[in-house]
Structure 1
Amino acid sequence: MKAAETRHHTEPFLPDITAHLNRGRKTSQHSRMKENPQAGSVLELSPQILSRVDISKFRNSLKLNTCVELLQEGCHRSFSELHSLLSCDRDRRESAEPGTALSLQTPLEDQKDKIQTMRHYLSRAEQAERTNTWTVACEHRLSLGRYFSSQEDLWLSLHFYHSCVDREFGGHSRPATEARVCLAELYLQTGELERAEQQAELCIQQAEDRGWLDSDGLPLRTRGLKALWRIYSRMADLLVDAEEYSQALELLHKGRSMAGKIGDTQLEADATYQLGLTNQRAGDHQRAKQMFSSCTQVYGTLEDDDGLVKSYRAMARSLESEGNIDETVQCLQKLADLSQSSGLRRVQVDSYLWLGKIYYKRGQYTTACDFFQRGYEAACELGDVSLLEEAEVFIGTARAHCVIRKHIADIASAAPTATHRPKTWEETGRLQDFSGDSTDLTDTAL
């Protein structure tokens, strides 16, 4: 009786279904884990719940997220600079004329790569400034200036270069000196020559006796000297256009002196050539010829065909201006031979036509016609229609003069064959061939 009561209190009236199901689940889960050991870890993973920060990154713009990250990192100055640049970009585009390239540019705040690059380098530059490592800070800003190298980002490049050189600390460091020569090159590109000159001269001063190299491994002082030579060259061109030759020559002499300091033979030859051109424009052909003669020697040593071509051309112009026609012809013959051997068809055509014009002016129409014909054949190989048409006009004009000259000579002659020839031309409509230079006599009446 007591045993029955005990069983009644210890055993449940109904079987434990939950426990049975759990045992079944454990057994089936255990068997699946045996078959696939990784299944257990997958089952134990709970669904990932996004935080409010993660959700805000999806909802907010790239600009807002980047600014928030900079503030969270404590980079308040970087935040202010980035925000200012984005505002400046918006104002520039809004003030541009509708339909212009500036107005159609993609907003800077929507260009992810550029935003992230600025965030990266600006934050590191600010961190370097906190530890007074000014050279490192300038290095990061120099990297930003070099990054924004496209034409549409020129304003950003100028901003970061100036933020590198215009600072109280670090403004004389190696990266700041490189930023100066970069500014000189950019200002030369935009035509702001006085600013370009100022930055190039400061670069040369700061790099003097330092042995610094730029980011590409080139000597910074040499790069500054080359930039200053190009600036002087551009300034001289403007002075020549204004017919202020003495000031232009003074600048070009300074530029040539710089090229000599660098030890760059090619650059020195280019500077000498420009000096020759300026003397030529000023009317000093004797001095110009000396410069061009020096250039041909240097360019010949360097095997620079382009340099030789432009030097021979300039020399021929000076010789022709002085009336030295025979020397002009010799110079043009050298130019024609050089262009033929170098495959410079355009130069070859110009040389032959130039020679033809010289002989045409001297009344040697047969020889002129021969050179015009050579120019025409070279123009055919080049495939330049305008040159072909020009050569055809010259050939036709020269041949007409040859025929007229021969016709007049026949009329004036008492020989039977000479008097019969004009009648034959009139009846047949065919012109007999003409050759030889017997008719190439100067005729002032024509």
Structure 2
Amino acid sequence: MASRVEFDRQLKMNAAAQRHTGLILPEITADRRKKRSTLHRFRNSLKQNICVEMLQGGFHRSFSELFFLLNSDQDRRAAAEPGSGVRLQTPLDEQRDKLETMRLHLSRAEQAERTGSWSVVCEQRLILGQYFSAPEDLWLSLHFYHSCADRERGGRSRPATEARACLAELYLQQGELERASQQAELCLKRAEDDGWLDSAGRPLRLRARRALWRIYSRLAEAPLDTADYNEALTLLHKGYSMAAESEDQQIEAEASYRLGLTYQSAGEHDTAKQFFDTCTQIYGTLQDADGLVKTYKAMAKSIESEGNIHETIQCLETLADISRSNGLQHHLADAYLRLGNIYYTRSQCKRACEFFLQGYEVASNLEDLTLLHKAQVLVARARAHSLIRKYGADVESATPSALRRLLAWKETRGRQDLSTDSTDNTNTAWY
């Protein structure tokens, strides 16, 4: 009985103590819990904290996707070997900005998915694809662009169509031309139907056409290497069609130039000249001196192949004028040397020497030793050829005046400057 009374008394004392400390204990307990939570967060890794936030917010799909990407990064790093070409950086789970960015936009995408806002879902994934623009993040960029473009719901939206344009450009950079072509063609089809603009306000249909022009140009390189001009021309014409409709005169001129070169290689010089004419018109409008110079060089080659020397000379003189006016000294020297060669092949050595000497002077100013040596050889050859022709003519004629010139030449060994052209009368003094 006594023990029962004592037990009841102890219970009353405990209850009184709890009532007495009731105002203080809850505050102490809450404070301890807060400290314990802060300490727990501090001890967790960055990866754990991000994942916990996503789970606490109810974004379980986003958590699963982020966790998958983090594991993929670990697998890529583990599989990478020295010299494998895989760019390694700081582990993804240690990069706060990237983890926070993925958490934010994946959570927004999942929230939009719950409400059926499929365009918003794609927009958030497009943002992530654009965010991971560094070369070492290519795999992440491709993941988010595909997760945007390949969605069953929202896959035909404006953001998804822009993602296809981005995929086409990325695959083109990687040399995966078939994949690039597939993505660009899908982008063009959808953008044509709806007239969408990309994030920078540019028409997506034009962006897709520019990508397709580059893709077809790259695809044409393989048949060109094997001299399969029919296949190359088919691809280049497709590219030219895209370029002409791209509203970008620069790439239209470049596409025309590529076609001209290919027709030239195939021996179809008339057709080549038609495309070169288009180039000169466009480059002239754009005031693109470099474009004009390379086009006139190519055009001169086609004209010369047809045996039209007079027109070739006119073309090269135009090339020299453009080069001189725009300070393109290397091209100017090349034009002079090519003009000299034309006159040399026509046995007009004096005229050839004039152009060779001009090319030599330009090369000297440029301090280009390779070009300078080339010009020196051409000048020497032209002069020697002229002297030999005149010497031979005097030997054959054996007239008193010819013999006097030969004796004079023997004494001076031809140290005088070349003063006449080979087309001059051989009886004229040449020493």
Contact between 2:348 and 2:422, CA under 8 Å: does it hold in 1? no
Taking structure 1 as reference, are residues 417 and 271 closer, same or farther at Cα in structure 2, changes over 3 Å only? Answer: same
Greater alpha carbon shift after TM alignment, 303-312 vs 170-179: 303-312
For residue 173 of structure 1, report the CA deviation from its aligned partner.
0.5
Q: Per the alignment, in what secondary structure is the counterpart of residue 437 of structure 1?
A: coil
Tell me which residue corresponds to 2:236. 252
Contact between 1:239 and 1:248, CA under 8 Å: does it hold in 2? yes
Distance 1:440 1:89 in 2: 81
Residues 260-280 of structure 1: per-residue CA shift (max 9 Å, x gap): 434444433332222222211
For residue 315 of structure 1, report the CA deviation from its aligned partner.
0.9
Contact between 1:365 and 1:399, CA under 8 Å: does it hold in 2? yes
Contact between 1:289 and 1:315, CA under 8 Å: does it hold in 2? yes
Tell me which residue corresponds to 1:19. none
Tell me which residue corresponds to 1:4. none
Contact between 2:390 and 2:422, CA under 8 Å: does it hold in 1? no
Contact between 1:249 and 1:275, CA under 8 Å: does it hold in 2? yes
1:326 aligned onto 2:310: yes
Distance 2:281 2:211 in 1: 25
* Larger Rg computed on CA atoms: 1
Amino acid at match of 1:143: I
Tell me which residue corresponds to 1:208. 192
Distance 1:257 1:383 in 2: 43
1:97-136 matches, within 5 Å, as 97-99=81-83, 102=86, 104-136=88-120
Please report the TM-score for the alignment, with normalisation by the length of structure 2.
0.83
For residue 78 of structure 1, report the CA deviation from its aligned partner.
1.7
Structure 1: unaligned runs, 5 residues or longer: 1-46, 442-446
Residues 104-147 of structure 1: per-residue CA shift (max 9 Å, x gap): 53322333322222222112112211221111111111111111
- Alignment counterpart, residue 183 of structure 2, candidates 177, 199, 220: 199
Greater alpha carbon shift after TM alignment, 426-435 vs 282-291: 426-435
For residue 177 of structure 1, report the CA deviation from its aligned partner.
0.4
The alignment yields a C-alpha RMSD, in angstroms, of: 2.6
Structure 2: unaligned runs, 5 residues or longer: 1-30, 426-431
Contact between 2:112 and 2:121, CA under 8 Å: does it hold in 1? yes
Amino acid at match of 1:133: S
Greater alpha carbon shift after TM alignment, 99-108 vs 317-326: 99-108
Contact between 1:406 and 1:439, CA under 8 Å: does it hold in 2? no
Distance 2:410 2:47 in 1: 89
Distance 2:196 2:388 in 1: 73
1:176 aligned onto 2:160: yes
Contact between 2:349 and 2:422, CA under 8 Å: does it hold in 1? no
Taking structure 1 as reference, are residues 292 and 60 closer, same or farther at Cα in structure 2, changes over 3 Å only? Answer: same
Contact between 1:97 and 1:103, CA under 8 Å: does it hold in 2? no
For residue 72 of structure 1, report the CA deviation from its aligned partner.
2.3
1:60 aligned onto 2:44: yes
Count of matched residue pairs: 395
Contact between 1:364 and 1:440, CA under 8 Å: does it hold in 2? no
1:217-228 matches, within 5 Å, as 217-228=201-212
Distance 1:312 1:165 in 2: 44
Amino acid at match of 1:368: A
Contact between 1:363 and 1:440, CA under 8 Å: does it hold in 2? no
For residue 341 of structure 1, report the CA deviation from its aligned partner.
0.7
Tell me which residue corresponds to 1:76. 60
Amino acid at match of 2:205: R
Tell me which residue corresponds to 1:309. 293
Residues 286-335 of structure 1: per-residue CA shift (max 9 Å, x gap): 11112212322232233222222222111111112222222222211111
Distance 1:282 1:105 in 2: 48
Percent same amino acid at aligned positions?
A: 62
Taking structure 1 as reference, are residues 55 and 385 closer, same or farther at Cα in structure 2, changes over 3 Å only? Answer: farther
Amino acid at match of 1:114: K
1:265-276 matches, within 5 Å, as 265-276=249-260
Distance 2:391 2:32 in 1: 105
1:397 aligned onto 2:381: yes
Tell me which residue corresponds to 2:73. 89
Tell me which residue corresponds to 1:381. 365
Greater alpha carbon shift after TM alignment, 418-427 vs 91-100: 418-427
For residue 434 of structure 1, report the CA deviation from its aligned partner.
0.7
Distance 1:278 1:126 in 2: 52
Taking structure 1 as reference, are residues 421 and 95 closer, same or farther at Cα in structure 2, changes over 3 Å only? Answer: farther
Tell me which residue corresponds to 1:27. none
Taking structure 1 as reference, are residues 104 and 189 closer, same or farther at Cα in structure 2, changes over 3 Å only? Answer: closer
Distance 1:56 1:129 in 2: 32
For residue 70 of structure 1, report the CA deviation from its aligned partner.
2.0
Distance 1:329 1:233 in 2: 32
1:367 aligned onto 2:355: no
Distance 2:143 2:308 in 1: 56
Contact between 2:347 and 2:422, CA under 8 Å: does it hold in 1? no
Tell me which residue corresponds to 2:429. none
Please report the TM-score for the alignment, with normalisation by the length of structure 1.
0.81
Greater alpha carbon shift after TM alignment, 270-279 vs 254-263: 254-263
- Alignment counterpart, residue 348 of structure 1, candidates 316, 323, 332: 332
Distance 2:330 2:71 in 1: 51
1:1-80 matches, within 5 Å, as 51-80=35-64
For residue 156 of structure 1, report the CA deviation from its aligned partner.
1.4
